[in-house]
A = this chain, B = another copy of it.
Amino acid sequence: MGAGAVGCAVAWAAAREGLAGEVVLVDPDPGSGASRVAGGMLAPISEAWPGEREVLELGAASLAAWPSFAAAVARDAGCSVGLRREGTLQVAVDAADVEDLDRVAEHLRAWGRVVERLSGRAVRRLEPSLGPSVRAGLAIPDDLAVDNRVLLGALSRAGASRGVVVSRRSVARVVDDGERVTGVAFADGGELEASRVVVAAGAWSAGLHPVLAGRVRPVKGEILRVRARRSSLPPPSRTVRASVSGRPVYAVPRDGGGLVVGATQYEAGFDADVLVGGVRDLVADVERVLPGIADYALEESAASFRPGTDDNLPLLGPVGPVGPAGLVAATGHGRNGMLLVAVTVSALVAVLRGEPLPEEARAAAADRSAVARG
């Protein structure tokens, strides 16, 4: 259930590995949720960095798995997944930011990542689109990024090549007999029988079975999609991240001169409006770092909902002793869905084979709260 990046990837992998007689991907509007609005940074550094060790370890494991995941999807899809290898530049615009950069650099080095601390001038030499307010930077050349919409297209093709069936219907809830799941009930009536149900409905997951209630909440985010014009300064080739007036902002390059600028963050339920003030802040913050963007074309502003969890770790695998057998979660990926899709796929393949969660995914076990509560 759910044809975002995670649902599409799990469906594809399950079909490829022959883990079910038939794999049906159910979504009233495939590829329309948070995956469509994502920036696509594949960087295991959250705005909460440093901290949240388990979130970072899971992200690092997924980053390591991404190239082979991408290659496998591309093989089945017969097209690119939109992976970019230009790396990230984290930049600082004030003194506090510069201190942050040094802390981040230290932690990344402790993790064995390659990082390079750069002066403002050196940063502008690398990316001439960065403005004079940038005082320092940190190059993280091994960070990856992905074009979220190219990835969604590739996952859809890869799934089709393996026989994934797409059902464009709206699911009301998972149905069980008290012990095992028996299928899903559609919002407009009727059921689909299934011996196992993977809930990959992102922020909408909590309403699909009582055992998931309260475990995933929507965290709204807004992005802008802009594009350099012929008259514009060319966009950066690397992902640019900064913090402006305490607000994180990023610009992730796309082929053809595009940039995805993000992202605001609101805890406001399922309010899908793009706010005038949100757009104003994103533009102001990104202009501080990339002043030439004023001459770019604004192609789209969009909002969606990250699936947030209390501990910022996703929910992966069986929902455990409290939930019915056969109910499997692949949700709660927060702001890291694109990054975590690779580790999610390997974790779900193991679970659907009847194996335990792989070591690197254990912290995200969906039954962790149930266990803790028990």
* A interface residues (Cβ-Cβ under 8 A, vs B): 224, 226-227, 229, 271, 273-277, 279-280, 283-284, 287, 293-299, 301
Contact at B275–A298, with CB atoms within 8 Å? yes
Are B294 and A284 in contact, with the CB atoms below 8 A?
no
Cβ contact within 8 Å between B298 and A274: yes
Contacts of A275 on B, CB cut-off 8 Å?
294-298
Q: Apart from A229-B273, A275-B297, what 13 extra A-B contacts exist at CB < 8 Å?
A: A226-B276, A227-B273, A229-B271, A274-B297, A274-B298, A275-B294, A275-B295, A275-B296, A276-B297, A279-B298, A280-B287, A280-B294, A298-B301
**A222 → B minimal CB distance (Å):** 9
A175 to chain B, nearest CB (A): 35
A276 CB, min distance to chain B CBs, angstroms: 5
Closest to A280 in B: B283
The smallest beta-carbon distance between A187 and chain B, in angstroms, is 25
CB < 8 Å neighbour of A280 from B271, B273, B280, B301? B280
What residues of B have a CB within 8 angstroms of the CB of A293 in the complex?
Answer: 276
Residue of B nearest to A259 (CB): B276
Contacts of A297 in B (CB 8 A): 273-276
Cβ–Cβ < 8 Å partners of A298 in chain B: 273-276, 279, 301
| Chain B residues, Cβ within 8 Å of A283 | 276, 279-280, 283
Q: Which residues of B contact A296 (CB under 8 A)?
A: 275-276
How far is the CB of A263 from the nearest CB of chain B, in Å?
15
- The smallest C-beta distance from A122 to any residue of chain B, in angstroms, reads 27
Instruction: Kindly list chain B residues whose C-beta atoms are within 8 Å of the C-beta of A277.
Output: 294-295
Report the bound CA distance from A318 to B275 in whole Å. 48
